A and B are shown apart, each in its own frame.
Chain A
Amino acid sequence: EAGVAQSPRYKIIEKRQSVAFWCNPISGHATLYWYQQILGQGPKLLIQFQNNGVVDDSQLPKDRFSAERLKGVDSTLKIQPAKLEDSAVYLCASGGGALSNEQFFGPGTRLTVL
């Protein structure tokens, strides 16, 4: 089966600009996750969707970050305005298929904020 797709793979922006990332989960997976991974650290959950509803967004900086999952499939994560400390890899994962305990990760988007 095809894996989790993310785009773009790399993005460089200046602080205060806005940016958006896109994720297409594995077909049939009900759960979608966005993680932020700062260099040298493990991934940190930003938001979790179950179908198109939000299950957990407790660690999402809602003053600048937003995410949506229209029709329970694709998802976009937006940052507006970006700060220097947002430089990180943004990972999308999906789960809830036949092996419902596992999460499958996309390749990530590496964001550099200058």
Chain B
Amino acid sequence: KQEVTQIPAALSVPEGENLVLNCSFTDSAIYNLQWFRQDPGKGLTSLLLIQSSQREQTSGRLNASLDKSSGRSTLYIAASQPGDSATYLCAVRAGGTSYGKLTFGQGTILTVHP
């Protein structure tokens, strides 16, 4: 059974800092890994998707890496801003198909203060 763990559970940083969120998973036979953002009372917004054959993906100030063999992914946020405050969720898709089940971590609550 796939298990996904995110560290830290919560993080508070001053504006402008670079930061790293960590995600680990127990079964390396994944199809892809996705990072989501969730604002209070809202649904999930996809940030980055990394295929199992890829090592990293970048979008603006965000960079996600994937080390499938060790079961780890990191989300790097550069020059953090108060608008980045949200819960960040990591999810892995079961191997084999593009519509396989997503297993989520419990999330990292990020607060960026001015």
Contact = CB atoms under 8 A, between A and B. Distances in A.
Contact of B44 (A44, A91, A110): A91
Contact of B34 (A4, A31, A102, A106): A102
Contacts of A30: 99
Interface string B61-75: 000000000000000
Contacts of A103: 34, 46, 102
Contacts of B41: 110
A45 to B, nearest CB: 5
Contact of B46 (A40, A56, A104, A108): A104
A42 B91 contact: yes
Main SS class of interface, B: strand
Contacts of A101: 31-32, 49, 51, 93, 98
B3 to A, nearest CB: 11
Contacts, number: 59
A100 B98 contact: yes
A110 B41 CA distance: 8
A72 interface: no
Contacts of B104: 42-44
B114 interface: no
Interface in A13-71: 30-31, 33, 40-45, 48, 50, 55-56
Interface centre among B32, B46, B49 (most CB of A within 10 A): B46
Interface string A77-106: 000000000000001010110001111111
Interface of B: 4, 31-32, 34, 36, 41-46, 49, 51, 89, 91, 93, 98-99, 101-107
25 contacts: A31-B99, A33-B102, A41-B107, A42-B91, A42-B104, A42-B105, A42-B107, A43-B44, A43-B89, A44-B104, A45-B101, A45-B102, A50-B99, A91-B43, A93-B44, A95-B99, A96-B98, A96-B99, A101-B93, A102-B49, A103-B46, A105-B44, A106-B43, A107-B42, A108-B43
